[in-house]
Amino acid sequence: MRKFDSFFIGLLLFSMFFGAGNLIFPPFLGAQSGTAFWLAMIGFVLTAVGLPLVVLFAIARVKGGIQAIGNRVHPVFSTIFMVIVYLSIGPFLAIPRNANVAFEMGLMPLPFMNGTDTTIVLLLFSFVFFLLVYLISLNPTNLERYLGRFITPILLVAIVILCIVSFMQLDGKFLAPTGGYEAGAFFKGFLEGYNTMDALAALAFGIVILTSIRQRGVSDEKQLKGYMLKASLIAGTLLATVYVSLGIVGGKMAINGEFADGTQILSAVSFNLFGNSGTVLIGLIFTLACFTTVVGLTSACGQYFSKLIPKANYKTVVLVTTLIGFTLTNMGLSQILKVSVPFLVTAYPLTIVLIVLTFFHHQFKGSRNVYVSALSFAGVFAVISGLNAFGINLGPIETVRSVLPLASVGLEWVVPALFGTIIGVVFAKIGGQAKAVSIERTG
């Protein structure tokens, strides 16, 4: 690899992570957390930056990547889990969400859009959007060149301009916390980090980054890990810096009134500072951020499913992914978002437990009992929480969930996961001792 390749691959990784949610959630967190901003932001960064990096490190540590990690539970579990993750962060959830946000923030606020038929305009916009996604995604070797070297620098410059001018011009003070940040700001921020979906995206992006590194002639496993680590740290540093900056902007804007979400905050601050030019600036930021993420997710789906299904080649999967994304985008953002939160509440605990166990794999000698037991206990309560987020009241079961430690901050699965891990370790030791006795008697 050449001298600056790691840097540009880091920019590629940043561009794939940095999508709609990464723009929307930090300023809203800043506005609501107020004087508890730093506690809330630390929690947010842990799950929105730290957890994705840990996932990437875990993937780099294990030969065979996330599929091999899932196989430690069971090959069937691994396949089902990864298919659900790829479909969710791909064509059925994250891709249409990003395309919709790009439309609503990049095109709809422009003056000439007043009075137009949004249905027809969305159809035309999404057609052009997904056509470009398809063309760039067709060749994975182009991703680092287009996303890492051209689009991402433009995106970063636009964000830097917005943030620096905001810091200089906005003099609003942080207000008292609201919106659930009054108590337990850290845990509230921790859970908000789920909404970026980046920990799940990291499961998919790992294969894209490793492919990009291998295409530069790197085959040694130790070197692969090193370059993955460098790229991940570059992307993580940029993400954390942008999150904190956008959060501070949101905190300074809170004095100007109530905002429904982060898009309103960013739209207001950009218009207040730059007028109509600000509308174009924030539209450019959202469009580029969403576009790069959709390209990354489309390529990741293409690489995964073309390997999973022998008869499906990469280009065919990319075409199907863009067609599904295009279709669902035209169904509207509100319908997509109704599904996202319950899914994230269910999927994140399983991902966290699986990745954490990976780092202690050698301590419990890789026993499948530990993986199965920990994920089973955590999974039960993750599913219950997901159903609850859908608005389904499970009666007595919900009562049991609500009295568990950390339930008040949405982390009721933690204790069951620890309990399941302990049980798994005990069974692993009993099984090991029984096997040793059997060998001794046979001998």
- Most confident stretch, 27-31, 212-216, 218-222: 27-31
Sign (positive or negative) of CA dihedral 379, 383, 384, 386: positive
Tokens coding 272: 């207040």
- Confidence bin at 438 (pLDDT 50/70/90): very low
Residues 6+ apart with CB under 8 A from 347: 84, 85, 88, 200, 382
Least confident of 140-144, 323-327, 438-442: 438-442
- Which phi-psi region, left, alpha or beta, contains residue 390 (left: φ > 0; alpha: ψ -120 to 50)? alpha
Contact 323, 317 (CB under 8 A): no
CA distance 179 to 87: 31
Contact 351, 200 (CB under 8 A): yes
- Confidence bin at 337 (pLDDT 50/70/90): low
**What per-residue confidence (pLDDT) applies to 89?**
80
Contact 385, 412 (CB under 8 A): yes
Buried/exposed 89-112: b ≥16 CB within 10 Å, e otherwise: bbbbbbbbbbbbbbbbbbbebeee
What's the chain's average pLDDT?
85
pLDDT, tens digit, 9 for 90 and up, residues 361-397: 888 888 889 999 999 999 888 888 878 777 777 778 7
Give the mean model confidence (pLDDT) for residues 399-415: 81
Inform me whether the pLDDT recorded for 275 exceeds 50: yes
**What per-residue confidence (pLDDT) applies to 247?**
95
**What per-residue confidence (pLDDT) applies to 372?**
92
Contact 30, 244 (CB under 8 A): no
Residues 6+ apart with CB under 8 A from 72: 357, 358, 361, 366, 368, 371
Inform me whether the pLDDT recorded for 184 exceeds 70: yes
Every domain of the chain and the residues it spans: 5-338, 360-443
Inform me whether the pLDDT recorded for 437 exceeds 60: no
* Higher per-residue pLDDT: 367 or 435: 367
**What per-residue confidence (pLDDT) applies to 143?**
79
pLDDT, tens digit, 9 for 90 and up, residues 14-45: 988 888 788 889 999 999 999 999 999 999 99
pTM of this prediction exceeds 0.85: no
Concatenated DSSP letters for 234-262?
HHHHHHHHHHHHHHHHHHHHGGG---SSH
pLDDT, tens digit, 9 for 90 and up, residues 280-333: 999 999 999 999 999 989 998 998 899 888 888 999 999 999 999 999 888 765
- Confidence bin at 440 (pLDDT 50/70/90): very low
Contact 367, 354 (CB under 8 A): no
- Most confident stretch, 105-119, 175-189, 205-219: 175-189
Least confident of 45-59, 146-160, 199-213: 199-213
The two most distant CA atoms of the chain are separated, in Å, by 86
End-to-end CA gap in the chain:
54
pLDDT, tens digit, 9 for 90 and up, residues 90-124: 888 889 888 988 998 888 888 777 767 788 898 99
With a pLDDT cut of 90, the percent of the chain lying above it is: 33
CA distance 11 to 34: 31
Residue 50: what residue type? G
CA dihedral 307→310→316→318, nearest 10 degrees, is -20
Q: Architecture of domain 5-338 in CATH?
A: Up-down Bundle (1.20)
Residues 6+ apart with CB under 8 A from 316: 306
